[in-house]
Amino acid sequence: MLLPILQDERMNDQEALIEDLSFEALVTLKLHSFIERLPFEGEDDLHEMIVSKVERALIRLVLDKLGGNRTRTAQVLGLSRGTLAKRIKDLKVLDNTRRPGRKT
């Protein structure tokens, strides 16, 4: 069937385009799309909303990359372990590397 092959080629084209864009350009594109959909009625904390989403994703990705090692994650992010722990709790970051029964 040709459709999966075409989809694979299209995906490769999209991945190549994404690779060519800078991080800032990618963020700008995503933010533009997000902001275009906002009604801006009752929105008075847009900055906090965006920053918390980015911070949550960043912490989760670094935690996953470092196998859940919070000490190393804090170092990489330039945070103290206490600050990282507070941000994980406040942002409700899911740590996919935690084992059941293990204290956080």
- pLDDT tens figures, 13-59: 777 777 778 888 889 999 999 999 988 777 688 899 999 999 999 99
List helix spans (H) across the chain: 2-20, 23-37, 46-65, 70-77, 81-91
- Rg of the chain over Cα atoms, rounded to whole angstroms, equals 18
Burial label, 70 (beta-carbon count in 10 A; 0-12, 13-18, 19+): buried
The string of pLDDT tens digits covering residues 43-99 is 688 899 999 999 999 999 999 999 999 999 999 999 999 999 999 999 999 877 665
Angle between helices 70-77 and 81-91 (to 10 degrees): 100
Break the chain into its structural domains and give their ranges. Answer: 48-95
Beta carbons of 64 and 88 less than 8 angstroms apart: no
Q: What is the pTM of this model?
A: 0.70
Q: Which CATH number fits domain 48-95: 2.60.40.1760, 3.30.70.1710, 1.10.10.60, 3.40.50.300?
A: 1.10.10.60
